[in-house]
């Protein structure tokens, strides 16, 4: 898998779709605020539309966005449940520590260890779900079927065609690129968050195109 080519193609896709098309850029910024719109637009990218699709058929785009949101929400349920348990445990631990101080340090340490273990489980589950979702959302876009978005045997078979190691490396590269851009923007005093907000359409198109190319690489994977 040519990771450099995927990165270049994705940025080129975003550049061609937005640079010089300032009205479209502004509309995409607005769509990022009304999140179902941008999620519906992303589905069009997942379907392989080239070049980057125009913003039109707003009603259809909004409905598609709601569907994608539902898929994401269902996948997030295990993470939300674990988060609630971990946060609840942390609150109880904090309350016990404050109430009893050092009267029973072994019990307090045990509770703290339980919270840390919960955090570790949360991290592992989040990573696993993230790996699955990266393929599931594109599969949903291509089939327009909620059932296929949760067809785990087909999802893992598709990832297997790409190659689990290549798939993981590709996602790590994407996350590193996005994180670097976001951190650089945040570090700029005063206007950093504004710059990041303006760049959101570029980042959205880059990520959507990148995941599309990753999904389609199964057809050419060795």
DSSP 19-46: TT-HHHHHHHHHHHHSHHHHHHHHHHHH
Q: How far apart (Å, rounded) are the C-alpha atoms in residues 171 and 51?
A: 23
Element (H, E) at 97: helix 58-100
The tens-digit pLDDT sequence of the chain (222 residues) is 889 999 999 999 999 999 999 999 999 999 999 999 999 999 999 999 989 999 989 999 999 999 999 999 999 999 999 989 888 877 877 776 666 655 566 766 777 787 788 889 999 999 999 999 999 999 999 999 999 999 999 999 999 999 999 999 999 999 999 999 999 999 998 899 999 999 999 999 999 999 999 999 998 543
- Work out how many domains the chain is built from and give that number: 1
149 and 72 Cβ atoms separated by less than 8 Å? no
* Secondary structure letter of residue 144 according to DSSP: -
First-to-last C-alpha distance (Å) of the chain: 9
User: How much is the pLDDT for 216?
Assistant: 95
Q: Which domain holds residue 61?
A: 3-219
* Total residue length of the chain: 222
E strands along 36-163, which residues? none
């Amino acid at each position: 898998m040519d990771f450099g080519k995927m990165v270049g193609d994705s940025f080129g896709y975003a550049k061609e779709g937005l640079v010089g098309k300032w009205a479209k850029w502004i509309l995409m910024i607005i769509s990022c605020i009304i999140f179902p719109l941008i999620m519906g637009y992303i589905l069009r990218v997942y379907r392989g539309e080239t070049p980057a699709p125009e913003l039109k058929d707003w009603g259809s785009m909004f409905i598609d966005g709601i569907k994608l949101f539902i898929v994401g929400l269902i996948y997030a349920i295990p993470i939300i449940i674990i988060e609630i348990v971990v946060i609840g445990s942390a609150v109880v631990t904090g309350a016990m520590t404050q109430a009893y101080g050092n009267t029973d340090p072994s019990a307090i340490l045990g509770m703290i260890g339980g919270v840390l273990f919960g955090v570790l489980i949360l991290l592992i589950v989040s990573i696993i779900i993230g790996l699955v979702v990266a393929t599931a959302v594109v599969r949903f876009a291509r089939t327009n079927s909620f059932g296929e978005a949760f067809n785990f045997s087909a999802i893992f078979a598709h990832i297997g065609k790409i190659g689990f190691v290549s798939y993981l490396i590709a996602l790590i590269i994407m996350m590193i690129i996005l994180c670097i851009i976001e951190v650089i923007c945040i570090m700029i005093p005063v206007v950093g968050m504004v710059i990041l907000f303006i760049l959101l359409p570029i980042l959205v198109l880059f990520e959507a195109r990148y995941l599309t190319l990753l999904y389609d690489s199964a057809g050419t994977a060795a």
